[in-house]
Structure 1
Amino acid sequence: MPAHSKTLSHHIRPAAWSAALLAGFVVQLLLILFVTTIGLQQLGITTHNLDTVVNVHMRKQNLTKTMLSVARERTLIMLTLSKVDDPFERDDLLTRFNEKGAEYVVARQTLQGMPLNDREHKLIARQQQLIQVAQPIQTEVIDLINAQFNREAERVTLTRAIPTQNQVLAVLFQLDAETQQVALAASRKAYEAQRVARFWMYLLCGAALVVGVIVAAVVLRYTTRISLEREHLAIHDALTSLPNRRLLLEHLEQALAHGRRHKTQIGILFIDLDNFKRVNDTLGHAVGDQLICQVAQRLRSAVRSNDLVARLGGDEFVVVMSDVRAASQIFHVVDKILAVMVVPYQIAERELFNSCSIGISVYPTDGASSSDLLKNADTAMYYAKSSGKNRYHLYDAAMNAMAEERLQLDTDLHHALERNEFSFYYQPQVNLDSGRTCTVEALIRWNHPEKGLLSPAAFLDMLEDTGEILPVGRMLLGAACTQGARWHAAGFNDLVIAINVSSKEFWNCDLLSNVQSALAQSGLPPQSLQLELTEGILMGDMDAAAHKILELKALGVSIAIDDFGTGYSSLAHLKRFPLDVLKIDRYFVKDLRHDSVNEALVNSILALCKGLNLDTVAEGVETRSQLDVLHKIGCPVVQGYLISQPVPAENILALLQRDWRQALGLHIDPAA
């Protein structure tokens, strides 16, 4: 396969991708919230620490320094008082001394009301003890000064007051040093907390950034893959991953350009599966899809490496063969395709059989444009299908006229039912033992306004394809039952009316109700109605087919297998179905006189039917020699042109009244 037709790995699970993206965004959001929470928490801690440093430790330092300063000033005031003689100046100094004392007391009390460590408590207590010692001395000095004993006051100040005050100052210095140390420790703690907060902020911000980058990368990857997936789906079939019509046309145009330049041929193979609708109708679309996928794989394996396999839709495929040097290359690939397609398919524990029809057009002999080549290959394919299926046909210009005729016929067919152009012709089945007509088979005909009377071969497939077989079959079932009831009223009470049922009708859910309605409205006894089924109908889903046949037989009607021996069934399958009649296909009857193998086969079928208690009808009896052999080997019922061609209902009465043993001379020994 060419590069552009190779399937991409597009097992993208949108739900998983969406969940991953959502999880990424949620994680990123949680990280952002976590970072914010941690940041606010650390900010609170840092603020608290700073408040502690500023409002407690710095204030403690200020109070300690105030006490130290006040103590010094009181000492100097005391010393100055002993040397001042001016009463006014002395009064001023005394006032200042007392004010400083009061300031000292306030500072100390404020400091005591603040958080203190053990050492600070001890130092304040020691300071208070020394104050208690110094205060009487200071009072004594003041009293001496007031008594104007300045020299004695000076002596007491120098010898007793100042040394005591120095002890107080020493303690205050220690207290100041301690408060400074405590403040420094608090500052370091605040700095450490701020450093830790900064570390976590950086770490979590980095994590959020990494998650954001990862989420962005995932989104980019996802959108890229989605873009590639959409591009792939735009030019490939969603079920098989084969190129679709768009890519097919692009490739075909490129192949045509290459062929024109290099003077090479191009082969177009238009492939359509045979009986694919039956698979869909009987087993369901899921099995049909699996069959399509297996067909796609087989087609890829059968073509050359540089050939393109495309799916147009449904069960239609196209193969484009480029650089064809000889027609034998095309036929070789076609033979391989036909061979691989008939190999049984294993699907849903079932063995299915399918084939294909192939139409071939070749550039430049069958067209110069992609549209002409595809149309002509399609036309050739329909010719192959109408010629018997499981084969190929080369395009011929005369086929266009056939295709146009078919298209016109298809258009006319849509209006045939509303114009009442369908009717039944009837063909008798004769019992050779009694010489009487035992069954009349109703055969559909189309009274075309221009082409005249058309047999089912000309339009039945189109009815199946369009689904019009359902309303047509329902209408004709009622008409045949009504006609049968008229013959019963004319005295032929044992006459059975046989009606063919297509695959689409058989698997339609309304079949039972349609049969019941036709019998009820016509008055025909159920045992006088026989439904003919082909073997292929039963092979799709044998269990479901057997169940449906049982439901039909419960109504009282009989079931016949038409064209036995030409379908997919085997003799072993017959016992699974509750059948009544087996009709031997005309293929076995045709050469009875000259082919001993066919005679042996018919003999075997008759013996089988006798063992299974089935009635037997030989179809396609056209010559006296065929009749004689069938009579000789004991076939009880025959049908064919030797007896009568299908005729209108009004011509049947005469045939019903005829003694066929006498008319055919069966009372005379053929060997005589």
Structure 2
Amino acid sequence: MEEQASILVVDDDQSSRDLISYSLGRRGFDVDVVESGAAGLKYLETRRPDLILLDYLMPSPNGLETLHQIREKFSAAELPVIVITTVDEGLAVVEMLGAGANDFVSKPLEPPVLYARIRVQLELRRANLEIKRNEERFRHLAENAVDIIYRFSPIKGLEYVSPAVRAILGYEPEEFMRNPDIVIDRRLPGSAGIGDMVFSASPPFVTRWVRKNGDVIWVENRWSVDSGEDLHAEGVIRDITARIAYDDLTGLPNQTLFRDTLAHRMGDGGPAAFAVTLLSLDRFEIMNQSLGQGHGERVLSAAADRLRNAVARADSVARWGEFRFAVLLREVKDPLAALDRTEAIIRNLERPYIIGGRELYLTISSGIYVGNPGAGDQLTEALRGAEAALLQAEAGGRSRTVIYEERMRESFRSRMEMESDLRRAIEENEFEIFFQPILHVATKRVQRLECLIRWKHALRGWVAPTDFVPLAEETELIHPLGDWIIRRACEGLARLRAAGQPELRAAINLSPLQFARRDLSQTLRMALESSGLKPDAIELEITESTLMGQGAEMLERMRELKSAGLTIAIDDFGTGYSSLAYLSRFPVDCLKIDRSFVGAMADAGRNAAIVRAIVALAHSLELEVVAEGVETRAQLDLLTELNCDYVQGFLIGKPCPERDLPALLNYSG
């Protein structure tokens, strides 16, 4: 049985109506019959059949007249009509098809032929209805979508655009369709309209547009091209400003949006000066790695909230890198006013943070660039000026604010060149490990080596570590550089041991950033395994400042390294902030007395007393002591008298490459 469908038969011939009704009824159709065109039209006022069988030859209104009235209300796709004719009514068939009939059958009727033609028309009707439903669903989605949906033709232009254009761009659909290029940002060479994208680029395409109110937004266009007879593209345009221009963690504008905002301010040409301030959270990278990313992110988020609330409504803030923020002070009287407002912001940021039940403190370094009205300042110049001032503040000991001066330009340029050279040097392996011997005082034998990095620049020659190590820490290039030092130091020590010095041990300096890394143990283990060394062959040197403020995380890190068999020394002891509480709490093996005390021992009784006290303190805690900077026999004799365990300095041997080291290993006194 055919799936039930309703059919209206309009025929003035009783025998024809009976035959059709009987034949189709057997097939499962729901058949209604009327004897005239007028009755058929009356029927359609209250009911809607799925198909009509309409006789052509009827009294007025005849079949053609009736069909005309049907088509005034219903399309051929909505309500198919099959015309019933006689064999000699050929012209009538043409006339009826022209008036909107879907098909025809001839009398005398043959039920199988009639059924086949009805089935085809019903299937076409179902397909047309499904297409219409899909079109209605699509239109409903398009009319209510938050994204802009469009159809574009290279000949006709923009043929359709959804109402979302109002919310995203501020234009009425008709306005935008008349001139879709009205949104192009002429200041940006890469800004493109829909027509520029769909037939000359590949999706997705991201560009910057300007809303009707002048706001700048970023949009992403995705489309597909139908290359048939009617060449056109259909696509979706999404506002991605939040993704492109805002930082996910803090919700602050990012560098992209801040640059746009600053460019607009600089283009205003107002009478007042403006200021760009860069704020850096001092040593935040160490805190972040030590506390764990979750706690570090909470600190950043809290700092961002404070910053947002600390500036005036007209000013702008942004996240500027991992642990920096930027502030645009739109109107300032002079540099002093910019300094006052910046310091007020910093005081707010430096209040304690309660994170995970702990009280944490930050210090802030900042650099300020003040732009003068009418001076023709460039965007890049303003940002580089603030960066140069910030670098000057950090180089001066951090927790400082510096206002940019013209003389800083050259130092900033040099710093940028040095950073570029440093990156290249790491890639091209321009570094070398130098070893400095450390003498065991009691046996007068060299038992240890300190591993020191040296850089031979392709043009500048040897570059002092003090000139590039701080830069490596600031740029976090210390991570790849530090890993390289660990690997090469282990490889060099392994060769020296194999060459007849099996008792030698090596000391490797670690920066605070390196020591805070959670994968430090893994890096050391891999280097030891690769070189065939045991962990007790390596001593790790850290500074006193590395220990400060890290609490439980630092203690856990040190215990992890100690349990792996490594030893730990505090370098430059006496110059930092170590307390007896720290020495008793942390699993330290050795103290290295700073050269400033050793160098002045013979001339100042107080320095000698300090050295004596450090040695006594270390021995009472069962720690070994190394004195650095030993350059004279008198210093060595005094340190021997004070029971110092090890000495290091030019008297014993200067740092040298591995190939020159054998001559220094047999100390002759």
User: Do residues 563 (structure 1) and 567 (structure 2) align?
Assistant: no
Q: Which residue of the other structure, out of 494, 503, 507, is the alignment partner of 1:498?
A: 507
Quote the Cα distance in structure 2 between the aligned partners of 1:418 and 1:245: 28
| Cα displacement (A) at 1:631 | 6.0
Give how far 1:272 is off: 1.7
Q: Give, in angstroms, the shift of residue 443 of structure 1.
A: 0.7
Residue 462 of structure 2 is matched in structure 1 by 453
SS in 1 for 2:398: coil
1:326-365 to structure 2, matched below 5 A, reads: 326-336=334-344, 344-364=352-372
Aligned to 1:317: 325
Alignment of 1:73-222 (within 5 A): none
The match for 1:532 is 541
Distance 2:568 2:637 in 1: 27
> Counterpart in 1 of 2:188?
none
Match of 2:408 among 399, 403, 409: 399
Among 420, 439, 448, the alignment partner of 2:429 is 420
Give the residue type in structure 2 aligned to 1:499: I
The residue that corresponds to 1:384 in the other structure is: 393
State the partner residue of 2:201: none
The answer to whether residue 490 in structure 2 is matched with residue 477 in structure 1 is no
2:585 alignment partner, SS class = coil
Task: Write the deviation string for residues 582-623 of structure 1: whole angstroms up to 9, x where unpaired.
Answer: 223456657667777766655554343222211122344567
1:400-423 per-position Cα deviation (integer Å, ceiling 9, x unaligned): 333333333333333434433221
**Alignment correspondent of 2:105:** none
For 1:587-626, list aligned pairs within 5 A.
Answer: 602-620=611-629
* Contact kept? 1:271, 1:318, Cα under 8 Å: yes
Instruction: Find the counterpart in structure 2 of residue 113 from structure 1.
Output: none
Q: Determine which structure has the larger strand proportion and give its number.
A: 2
The DSSP-based 3-state class of the residue aligned with 1:346 is strand
Q: Per the alignment, do residues 438 and 392 of structure 1 end up closer, same or farther by CA in structure 2, a change over 3 Å counting?
A: farther
1:290 to 280, 295, 298: 298
**SS state of the match for residue 382, structure 1?**
helix
Pairwise CA RMSD: 4.2
Aligned residue in 1 for 2:108: none
Q: SS at the partner of 1:613?
A: coil
Among candidates 555, 565, 580, match of residue 546 of structure 1? 555
Contact 1:309 1:319 in 2 (8 A): yes
2:667 alignment counterpart: 658
Q: Residues 289 and 570 from structure 1, CA distance in 2 versus in 1: closer, same or farther, beyond 3 angstroms?
A: farther
* Structure with bigger RCO (C-alpha 8 Å, 6+ apart): 1
Deviations 1:246-286 (A, max 9, x none): 6645654565567x543x43332211222222222222222
Report which of the two structures shows the higher radius of gyration computed on alpha carbons. 1
Letter in 2 for 1:556: G
Distance in 2 (CA, whole Å) between partners of 1:593 and 1:414 is 44
**Aligned-partner Cα distance in 2 for 1:405–1:515:** 34
Contact in 1 for aligned 2:286/2:516 (Cα 8 Å): no
| Pair 322,566 (structure 1): closer, same or farther in 2 beyond 3 Å | farther
Whether contact under 8 Å (1:279, 1:287) holds in the other structure is no
Q: Distance in 1 between matches of 2:492 and 2:410?
A: 39
Cα gap change, 1:568 to 1:274, in 2 (>3 Å): farther
Give the match for residue 646 of structure 1: 655
Question: How many angstroms apart in 2 are the aligned matches of 1:407 and 1:346?
Answer: 37
* Structure 2, gaps ≥5 residues long: 1-143, 145-165, 171-214, 216-238
1:276 aligns with 2:292: no
User: For residues 552 and 239 of structure 1, do their structure 2 counterparts lie closer, same or farther at Cα, with a shift above 3 Å needed?
Assistant: closer
Contact 1:338 1:390 in 2 (8 A): no
Give, in angstroms, the shift of residue 424 of structure 1.
Answer: 0.4
Cα deviation, 1:188-209, whole Å, max 9, x if unaligned, reads: xxxxxxxxxxxxxxxxxxxxxx
- Aligned length in residues: 437
The residue matched to 1:267 in structure 2 has which SS?
Answer: strand
Q: Secondary structure at the match of 1:497?
A: strand
Structure 1 unaligned residues grouped into runs of 5+: 1-215, 217-222, 661-672
Q: Whole-Å Cα distance in 2 between the matches of residues 622 and 328 of structure 1?
A: 49
**Structure ranking higher in helix proportion:** 1
Counterpart of 2:418, as a letter, is L
**CA distance 1:550–1:329, shift in 2 (3 Å):** same
Structure-1 separation of matches of 2:351 and 2:592: 28
Q: Distance in 2 between matches of 1:597 and 1:573?
A: 24
Report sequence identity in percent.
37
Question: Which of 564, 579, 582 matches 1:573?
Answer: 582
- If the length of structure 1 is used for normalisation, what is the TM-score? 0.55
User: What is the alpha-carbon distance in structure 1 between the residues aligned to residue 244 and residue 525 of structure 2?
Assistant: 49
- CA separation of 1:245 and 1:412: change in aligned 2, threshold 3 A: closer
Q: What is residue 70 of structure 1 aligned with on the other side?
A: none
Preserved contact between residue 369 and residue 382 of structure 2 (Cα < 8 Å): yes
Closer, same or farther: CA 370–466 of 1 in aligned 2, 3 Å: closer
What does the per-residue CA deviation read over 1:370-424, in whole Å, with 9 as the maximum and x for residues that have no partner? 4321221112212332343222333233433333333333333334344332210
Report the more deviating stretch, 458-467 or 404-413: 458-467
Contact between 2:290 and 2:517, CA under 8 Å: does it hold in 1?
no
Q: Determine the C-alpha separation between the residues in 1 that align with 2:610 and 2:547.
A: 22
Amino acid at match of 1:482: E
Residue 428 of structure 2 aligns to a residue whose secondary structure is: coil
In the alignment, residue 658 of structure 2 is paired with which amino acid? A
